[in-house]
Structure 1
Amino acid sequence: MTPNPPATVARTVCKTVAVLVLTGLFMLSLRFSATVAGMVDRVAGTGMWLALYRLAGANDATAQEQLIVMAVALVCCLLAIGVVEVADRLISRRHTAS
């Protein structure tokens, strides 16, 4: 296993910007992709989500929509972090190999 290259301010800023951009793109995919929107609709209608609505006190449609948006943002951000970390490790591995 190769050691991680030293953290620098520039590298941290690049990774942060990449996470923000990817999070935005993943959230935009919800807006412009019927497939992704359909998946979110299916998940939001499950019994688990209904229990989460009750637990969070989301009694009206507006509160439920806010809860869905927060969950979508969290999932998109976690997905973006994962993608950036995998890409960073692949790039680091490629640089150490050459």
Structure 2
Amino acid sequence: MSTHAGPTPSVARTIYKTLAVLALTALFLLSLRFSATVAGLVDHIAGTGMWLAVYRLAGANDATTQEQMIVMAAALVCCLLAIAVVEVADRLFSRLRPQS
């Protein structure tokens, strides 16, 4: 049974991936600000019954606290999405790169 997981990542590669995640997270967050479609989707999700239950569970009784929760959730989702995009891109590039 082989447990070979591929080459050990270099420090430079890790830094590039980290910078890519930060840049993509920022771009995704900017899309919330400048895209009516994305902002509308977030508004729709924030009004669902499940999200209202999250407000109650977290004790978010006023509009300010609820808006802070929305911003934190949006930032988390944007970061997770950026990580997924960078990982998929890294794996695709690894397959395309000639093995030495």
Same fold by TM-score greater than 0.5: yes
Identity of aligned residues (%): 74
RMSD (CA atoms): 1.6
List runs of 5+ in structure 1 lacking aligned partners: none
CA distance in 2 between counterparts of 1:22 and 1:81 reads: 8
Aligned with 1:82: secondary structure? helix
Q: RCO (CA 8 Å, sep 6+): is it higher in 1 or 2? A: 1
5+ unaligned residues in a row in structure 2: which ranges?
A: none
Contact residue 4 and residue 92 of structure 1 kept, 8 A: no
TM-score using structure 1 length = 0.93
Count of aligned positions: 97
Q: Within the alignment, does 1:59 sit opposite 2:61 as a pair?
A: yes
Q: Secondary structure at the match of 2:98?
A: helix
SS of the residue 2:21 aligns to: helix
- Greater helix share, 1 or 2? 1
TM-score by length of 2: 0.91
